[in-house]
Chain A
Amino acid sequence: MALKGLDIFKLTPKTNCKECGSPTCMAFSMKVAQGAVDLSKCPHMSEEALATLSEATAPPMKTIKVGTGDAEYSLGGETVLARHEKTFVSRPRFAVNLTADMDIDAVMAEVKKVDYDRIGEQMHAEMVYVEYTGDSAAYVEAVKKVCGIGKTIILGCKDVEAAKAALEVCKAEKPILDGADASNYADMVEAAKAAGVVLGVTGADINELYDTTAAIEKLGYKELVLDTTGADIKTTFATTVQVRRACLAKNPDRTCGYPSIVNLSKIAPNDEPMQIALASMFVLKYGSIIVMDTMNYARALPLYGLRQNVYTDPQKPMKVEPGIYPLNGGDENSVVLTTVDFALTYFVVSGELERSGVPCNLAISDAGGLSVLTSWAAGKFSSTSISKFIIENVEPKIKCRKLIIPGKVAVLKGDVEAKLPGWEVIVAPNEAVQLVKFLKDMQAAGEI
Chain B
Amino acid sequence: MPFNGKSGKFNASINTVEIGCGEKAIKIGGENVYPFYTFDAPIENAPKIGVMISDLGLENEPAGVKAYYEGCSSFAEIAQKAAAMPGADFVCLKLEGADPNGENKSTEECMTVLKEVVDAIDVPLVVYGCKNVTKDAELLTKAAEVAQGKNVLILAAKEENYKGIGAAAGLAYNQKVGAESAVDINLAKQLNVLISQLGVAPANVVMNVGTAAVGYGFEYVVSTMDRVKAAALSQGDAQLQMPIITPVADEAWSTKEAIASEEDMPEWGDQEARGIGMEVSTAASVLASGSNAVILKHPTSVATISALIKELV
Given contacts A84-B226, A347-B217, contact A302 B2 (CB under 8 A): no
Q: In this assembly, does A193 line the interface, its C-beta being within 8 Å of a C-beta of chain B?
A: no
Given contacts A84-B226, A306-B281, A306-B285, A280 and B311 within 8 Å (CB-CB): no
Q: Would A242 and B3 count as touching, CB distance under 8 A?
A: yes
Contact call A238/B288, Cβ cutoff below 8 A? no
Q: Report whether A284 and B288 are in contact in the complex, using a CB–CB cutoff of 8 Å.
A: yes
Q: Are B308's CB and A84's CB within 8 A?
A: no
Residues A234 and B311 in contact, CB atoms below 8 Å apart: yes
Count of chain B residues near A, Cβ 8 A: 57
Verify if B269 is at the interface (C-beta below 8 Å from A).
Answer: yes
Binds A, one of B153-161, B165-173, B255-263: B255-263
Given that A277-B281, A298-B277, A306-B214 are contacting pairs, would A233 and B222 also be in contact in the complex, using a CB cutoff of 8 Å?
A: no
CB-defined A-B contacts under 8 Å, sample of 11: A276-B277, A277-B281, A278-B308, A280-B281, A297-B267, A298-B274, A301-B215, A301-B278, A302-B282, A308-B215, A347-B216
- Say which residue of B38, B284, B285 sits within 8 Å of A234 (CB atoms): B38
Min Cβ gap B251→A in Å is 11
Query: What distance in Å separates the Cβ of B219 from its nearest Cβ neighbour in chain A?
Result: 4
Q: Tell me if B269 and A306 are in contact (CB < 8 A).
A: no
Complex interface residues of chain A between 269 and 326 (CB less than 8 A to chain B): 271-274, 276-281, 283-285, 296-299, 301-306, 308-310, 312, 314
A206 and B226 CA atoms in complex are apart in Å by 25
Contact between A281 and B284, CB atoms less than 8 A apart: yes
Chain B residues within CB distance 8 Å of chain A: 1-6, 8, 36-39, 101, 213-220, 222-223, 226-227, 230, 254-257, 259, 267-270, 273-274, 276-278, 280-285, 287-289, 300-301, 303-305, 307-308, 311-312
The interface bits of chain A over 344-386 (1 if a CB of B lies within 8 angstroms of the residue's CB, else 0) are 1001100100110000000000000000000000000000000
Contacts A211-B1, A280-B214, A309-B218 hold; do A351 and B256 have CB atoms under 8 A apart?
A: yes
Distance from A121 Cβ to chain B, minimum over Cβ atoms (Å): 12
Q: If A284-B288, A309-B218 touch, does A296 touch B301 (CB 8 Å cutoff)?
A: no
Q: Chain B residues with Cβ under 8 A from A278's Cβ? A: 284, 308
Task: Give the distance in Å from the alpha carbon of A399 to the alpha carbon of B167 in the complex.
Answer: 55
Check if A49 is an interface residue, CB within 8 A of chain B.
Answer: no
Interface assignment of A65: CB less than 8 Å from any CB of chain B: no
Residues on B with C-beta less than 8 A from A304 are 215
With A284-B289, A297-B269, A306-B215 known to touch, is A277 a contact of B305 (CB < 8 Å)?
A: yes
The answer to whether A302 and B38 touch across the interface, beta carbons within 8 angstroms, is: no
Closest to B216 in A: A347
**Contact between chains at B222 and A83 (CB < 8 Å):** yes
A285: nearest chain-B partner, CB-CB: B288
A308 to B213, CA, bound (A): 13
**In the complex, A348→B220 CA distance in Å?**
14
Main secondary structure of the interface of A (DSSP, over half): helix
Q: Are A233 and B223 in touch, CB under 8 angstroms?
A: no
Q: Name the contact of B5 in the complex, choosing from A214, A246, A271 (C-beta under 8 A).
A: A246
Those 9 A-B pairs whose CB atoms lie nearest each other, nearest first: A305-B215, A302-B281, A207-B2, A277-B284, A210-B3, A344-B217, A306-B214, A298-B273, A273-B304
- Identity of the chain A residue whose Cβ is nearest the Cβ of B223 in the assembled complex: A84
Interface secondary structure of B, over-half rule: helix
Q: Do A82 and B307 have beta carbons less than 8 Å apart? A: no
Please name the residue on chain B nearest to A343 by beta carbon. B217
A241 within 8 A of B: yes
> Given contacts A83-B219, A273-B300, A299-B277, could you give 10 more A-B pairs where the C-beta distance is less than 8 Å?
A84-B223, A206-B5, A210-B2, A211-B1, A214-B1, A273-B303, A276-B284, A302-B280, A308-B215, A354-B259
Option from A246, A277, A301 in Cβ contact (under 8 Å) with B3: A246
Q: Measured between alpha carbons, how far is A253 from B4 in the docked complex, in Å? A: 9
Is A281 touching B285 in the complex (CB atoms < 8 A)? yes
Q: A389 → chain B, closest Cβ, in Å?
A: 24
- Could you say which residues of chain A place their CB within 8 Å of the CB of B257? 301-302, 305
In the complex, which residues of chain A have a beta carbon less than 8 angstroms from the beta carbon of B256? 351, 354
Q: With A242-B5, A245-B8, A301-B268 given, is the CB distance from A233 to B273 under 8 Å?
A: no
Which of A211, A277, A310 is within 8 Å of B218, CB to CB? Answer: A310
Report how far A233 CA is from B309 CA in the complex, Å: 10
A237 touches B284 (CB 8 A): no
CB of A1 closer than 8 Å to a CB of B: no
> Given A211-B1, A297-B269, A298-B273, is A276 in contact with B280 using a C-beta cutoff of 8 Å?
yes
Asked if residues B281 and A237 are in contact (CB atoms below 8 Å), the reply is: no
A419 within 8 Å of B (CB atoms): no
**Chain A residues near B3 (CB, 8 Å)?**
206-207, 209-210, 242, 246, 256
Is residue A4 contacting chain B, with contact meaning CB distance below 8 A?
no
List of A residues within 8 angstroms of B304 by Cβ: 271, 273-274, 277
A113 lies within 8 A of chain B by Cβ: yes
The complex places the Cα of A437 from the Cα of B6 at a distance, in Å, of 54
> Is B284 in contact with A280, judged by CB distance below 8 angstroms?
yes
- A22 CA to B3 CA, complexed, in Å: 43
Partner of A232, one of B267, B305, B311: B311
Given contacts A277-B281, A297-B274, A301-B257, contact A238 B38 (CB under 8 A): yes
> Which of B39, B216, B218 interacts with A242 by CB under 8 Å?
B39
The reply on A172 being an interface residue by CB < 8 A is no
- CA of A208 to CA of B195 in the docked complex: distance in angstroms? 50
**Are A297 and B217 in contact, CB atoms less than 8 angstroms apart?**
no
Tell yes or no: A194 within 8 A of B by CB: no
Residue pair B305, A302 in contact (C-beta under 8 Å):
no
A68 at interface by CB-CB < 8 Å:
no
A34 within 8 A of B: no
Most buried by B among A273, A296, A312: A273
Tell me, in angstroms, the Cα distance from A344 to B219 when the chains sit together: 10
Q: How far is the CB of A279 from chain B (nearest CB, A)?
A: 8
Q: Which residue of chain A has its CB nearest to the CB of B229? A: A82
Q: Complex: how many Å from CA A232 to CA B284?
A: 17
| Residue A434 lies at the interface, judged by CB distance under 8 Å to chain B | yes
- Beta-carbon contact of A274 and B308 below 8 Å: yes
Query: Which residue from A232, A234, A241, A309 sits with its C-beta under 8 Å from B214?
Result: A309
Residues of A close to B227: CB separation below 8 A: 82, 84
Q: A169 — which chain B residues lie within 8 A by C-beta?
A: none
A165 at the B interface (CB under 8 A): no
A249 within 8 A of B: yes
With CB as the reference atom, state the residue of chain A lying closest to B265: A297
Q: How distant is the Cα of A305 from the Cα of B277 in the complex, in angstroms?
A: 12
Q: In the assembly, what is the distance between CA of A209 and CA of B268, in Å?
A: 40
* A249: chain B residues within 8 A (beta carbon): 6
Contacts of B285 in A (CB 8 A): 280-281, 283-284, 306
Give CA–CA (A278, B312) in the complex, Å: 11
Are A82 and B226 neighbours in the complex by a CB distance under 8 Å?
yes
